[in-house]
Amino acid sequence: MNSLIQLFTTILPFSKEEQIFINENLITESYEKGDYHCIEGKTCKKLSFIENGIFSVEGYRTIDDSYIKYFASQGHFAVDLDSFFHQTPSKENIKALTNCELLTISRETYNMFEKEITNFSKVISFLKEKALLEKYTIKSEMLVDNAETRYLKFIKRHPEVANQIPQKLIATHLGISQFTLSRIRAKK
């Protein structure tokens, strides 16, 4: 049983036949560092579970001013939820920061799973709710916490990410300078 099916079955049960059906319809994808999974302005057509690797999810304040909304790593999904579920142009870029392995569900396969698998819609609803709550929590913390607290929460939330990506990306995500991040790290 792959890790995506394990995740699904920790939420609600799927029969052995449903698990086999899911597994047969998943696409295994590899991304190299720098590849884009989703591009701003284009519709996100894939719901991908990260088996290994790290993605950044970038938003834009203006055409020339991007920022990192959050990082997605092993055990999380690489998807623009709004774009995928509403089939609208994406408002973010999802970029591989390391080489990545994904288990992907295409939009067509997703629709088939909704029709054929009993608890699939409920599992996806649960996962969407969980993801939105995590995003809300991160956004709220970014507004109220000081730089050191934001960094400490980031390290606690993403211990595997901190040592695999450039510190300047972490600083950008936290909304602080590289100098401030270095100062905070030196204290620890």
Q: For the chain, what is the mean pLDDT?
A: 93
Which pLDDT value is given to residue 76? 94
Which pLDDT score is estimated for 142?
Answer: 87
In this predicted structure, what is the pLDDT of residue 149? 93
Residue range 77-99: mean pLDDT, rounded: 95
pLDDT recorded at residue 139 = 87
The per-residue pLDDT for range 135-180, each reduced to its tens digit, is 889 888 888 999 999 999 999 988 888 889 999 999 999 989 999 9
Residue 188 DSSP one-character state: -
Q: Give the closest residue to 164 by CA, choosing from 60, 50, 59, 65.
A: 50
For range 45-52, the mean pLDDT? 96
State in words which class domain 3-121 has.
mainly beta
Any idea where the domains of the chain sit in the sequence? 3-121
Q: Does residue 18 register a pLDDT over 90?
A: yes
pLDDT at 1: 65
Terminus-to-terminus CA distance in the chain, angstroms?
Answer: 40
How confident is the model at residue 162, as a pLDDT? Answer: 85
* pTM (two decimals): 0.89
DSSP 25-37: H-EEEEE-TT-EE
H-only helix segments in 30-177: 81-86, 107-116, 120-144, 147-157, 159-162, 167-174
pLDDT at 61: 78
- Evaluate if residue 130 carries a pLDDT over 70: yes
